[in-house]
Amino acid sequence: MSIRHLEDGRFEVLQPFVFRWPAKKVILSILVADAIFSILVIVQSSNIVASFLLCSIVLSAIVAVGYDREIFPIIYIHFVLCLLYIFFFAAIIPMVFYNPQICGGEKCKKMLQWMESVGLPKNWISICCFSVGTLISHILMTPVSLRMMKFTAACKALDEMMADEEFTRRLQRPIYPNISYPIPV
């Protein structure tokens, strides 16, 4: 995190970048791509799954507003939810589907029948593509979210420090060098 000292005496926290792009624009574009990806799956889904995906799109819109306005609690909640999502899709679901004690034989058929009755698309390729696509988008969002979290926390701390009169008074007084130490020129 970099802080710049402006000519008028104020300080400013520089926005974080990801591969030469501002982190805010990167995370907003990933959220929009995830929402578009969800819309493509909604077209093939039934009412229950479509309503769930519509709720996730609304949640993505709320998170996008939080990132756009740099609201720390929303960014923090989104970071934690990204980590939970990654853990769930990378650890829990494979453990359930590839463990023969949990999903083996007749039990797995009942689970698949229940998933079809709920309204998941019958095409398993689209479900796998959606799961992998959203998993990749959440993996990409996690480090950018962490950078934005640090940025908003630094901005808030800097605003609080600049609001403190004692701190600003100390910043404005001249600093005299200690003569006892040699100053290399």
pLDDT digits (tens, 9 = 90+) for 145-176: 999 999 999 999 988 988 888 877 777 655 55
E-strand ranges in the chain read: 3-5, 11-13, 17-18, 21-22
Asked if residue 178 belongs to a domain, the reply is: no
Asked if residue 94 belongs to a domain, the reply is: yes
Give how many domains the chain has, as a whole number: 1
In which domain, by residue range, is 34 found? 3-169
pLDDT at 38: 80
Asked if residue 174 belongs to a domain, the reply is: no
Asked if residue 181 belongs to a domain, the reply is: no
Asked if residue 179 belongs to a domain, the reply is: no
- What pTM does this model have? 0.74
Asked if residue 22 belongs to a domain, the reply is: yes
pLDDT mean across residues, the chain: 79
Asked if residue 49 belongs to a domain, the reply is: yes
What are the C-alpha distances in Å from 6 to residues 3, 17, 64, 141? Answer: 10, 20, 29, 31
- Asked whether 148 and 1 are in contact (CB, 8 A), the reply is no
Asked if residue 180 belongs to a domain, the reply is: no
The whole-number average pLDDT for the span 2-20 is 80
